[in-house]
Amino acid sequence: MLSDKTVVITGGARGIGREIALKMADAGANIALVDVCRREEMEETRMQAAALGSQALAYQCAVEDEAQVIAVTKEIASAFGRVDILVNNAGITKDNLLLRMSAEDFSRVLDVNLQGAFHFIRHLVRQIMRSPAGRIINISSVVGLRGNFGQVNYAASKAGLIGLTKSVAREFAGKSVTCNAIAPGFIETAMTSTLPEQALENLRASIPLGRPGRADEVAALALFLASPEAAYITGEVIRIDGGMAM
């Protein structure tokens, strides 16, 4: 399905990003993993992708640092010779009530979650435009659609990704580049496993399907949006949330 395509995935070493990397590697893509985590974690995911037959390389990069992004995107273009698909998945949380949230924590989350996506789109889109099937996929959240108690920074960043997605979709549609956003709900990852049990129960109770989602389910949606079957879909925000935000 993605044979000979090159996919760049930010936040690709863990959680949802890792599942997207493995799903796309299994579909025949070559994988450039970008993350800020420890080399050991990145190498584990890289080796799993390579075991699926992918040319897989890993790059450490703080996505909010434009100088690092410029250097890494040049390395990726040189190593792979092309970039067809970009998945902006890197993200952080620094939750607190608005009255207790520092300006630093507000800005930090927007810098990583929103500005990081802008940097990677800006510095890879010329490569993506050269592809006959250019794709940009931004991982937003249902929180960006409906807000959430104690997450004004995270909600603002994810809502911003939706506006970014729609604007990029309009700007590059004439170059046959699609840009879509995925809005996951409550997905089981290492990040959510640290929540208190009562908070987990409350979250489950808010989901009509009665269970959290899995990272591989989000990855399957990302694979579809990267595939030839999704060539006529652009500017969309697709929820994958068990009905949480309907």
Q: By three-state DSSP, how is residue 60 classified?
A: strand
Number of C-beta neighbours around residue 200 at 10 A: 15
Number of C-beta neighbours around residue 135 at 10 A: 25
- For residue 232, indicate whether it is catalytic: no
In order, the DSSP letters of 6-59 are EEEEETTTSHHHHHHHHHHHHTT-EEEEEESS-HHHHHHHHHHHHHTT--EEEE
Triad 106, 108, 113: Cα angle to 5°: 100
Nearest to 26 by CA among 182, 223, 228: 223
Backbone phi and psi for residue 215, each to the nearest 5 degrees, phi listed first: -60, -35
Q: Spell out where 170-233 has E strands.
A: 178-184, 187-188, 213-214
Number of C-beta neighbours around residue 199 at 10 A: 11
Q: By three-state DSSP, how is residue 75 classified?
A: helix
Triad 141, 145, 147: Cα angle to 5°: 90
Is the Cβ–Cβ distance between 138 and 167 less than 8 Å?
Answer: no
Given the residues 154, 156, 164, 189, the one annotated as active site: 154
Active site residues: 154
